[in-house]
Amino acid sequence: MMLDTLLKDAKKQLVSALIHKKHSFRYFTLTTLSLEGSPHSRTVVLRGFDPEKFTFSIYTDSRSDKVKELNKDDRAEFLFYDNNQLLQLLVRVNLIGSISSEEKFNSLSDSYKKDYCATQQPGNPIKGPEDIEYDFDKGYFIELNFKAVQIEYLKLKRPNHLRAKFHINQNWKGCFITP
């Protein structure tokens, strides 16, 4: 089993998740550091992945906690898990940029726009799920771009589990580690 096969497989799966809506990697856990320094995780949708540049993108509301947290500390971790393959990818990333694209927001249908244009701040208490107003002219849509610095591949299988780590500083050469 060659190490670079594992890295290639990880990238192939991520590319596949962009195309196939049912792929488990479409939804993943994004962990940031809260303003107090504690871990803060949430589920997000994978919106972009470039296997050559090893960059990722997600869409969010520019007023959300994750944006505030990443502006303070650009480090984050992505956790992907595929229950069918018993495959876990842990990707350490840095925020490298954000694009608040009015064009992209305007191209969304109203039902999708809703996710980015509530007049109330995300995270604020409301009376109930219906107590939300939307401003379809003024979105808070933002695309966040991340660059991978390390990836850990873990697949549970018999007779031997497969666990390997790849780091940008070793030119993504990688090494097997004890599962």
Ligand X SMILES: Cc1cc2nc3c(=O)[nH]c(=O)nc-3n(C[C@H](O)[C@H](O)[C@H](O)COP(=O)(O)O)c2cc1C
Name the residues that contact ligand X, by CB under 6 A. Answer: 27, 40, 42-45, 58-61, 64-66, 122-123
Nearer to ligand X, 9 or 65 (CB): 65
Smallest gap from Cβ 28 to ligand X, in A, equals 9
Give the phi and the psi of residue 13 in degrees, each rounded to 5.
-65, -40
Nearer to ligand X, 13 or 60 (CB): 60
Contact 142, 149 (CB under 8 A): no
Nearest residue to 164 (alpha-carbon basis) of 141, 51, 172, 81: 172
Summary count for the chain: helices (H), strands (E): 4, 9
Smallest gap from Cβ 69 to ligand X, in A, equals 7
Cα 67 off chain centre by? 13
Nearer to ligand X, 56 or 166 (CB): 56
Cis amide bond preceding 51, omega within 30: no
User: Which DSSP string do the residues of 69-136 spell out, in sequence order?
Assistant: HHHH--EEEEEEEETTTTEEEEEEEEEEEEE--HHHHHHS-HHHHGGG-BSSPTT---SSTT---B-T
> Letter for the amino acid at 106?
N
Nearer to ligand X, 26 or 155 (CB): 26
Smallest gap from Cβ 46 to ligand X, in A, equals 8
Nearer to ligand X, 45 or 177 (CB): 45
Smallest gap from Cβ 166 to ligand X, in A, equals 26
Smallest gap from Cβ 67 to ligand X, in A, equals 7
Q: How many CB atoms lie within 10 A of CB 145?
A: 19
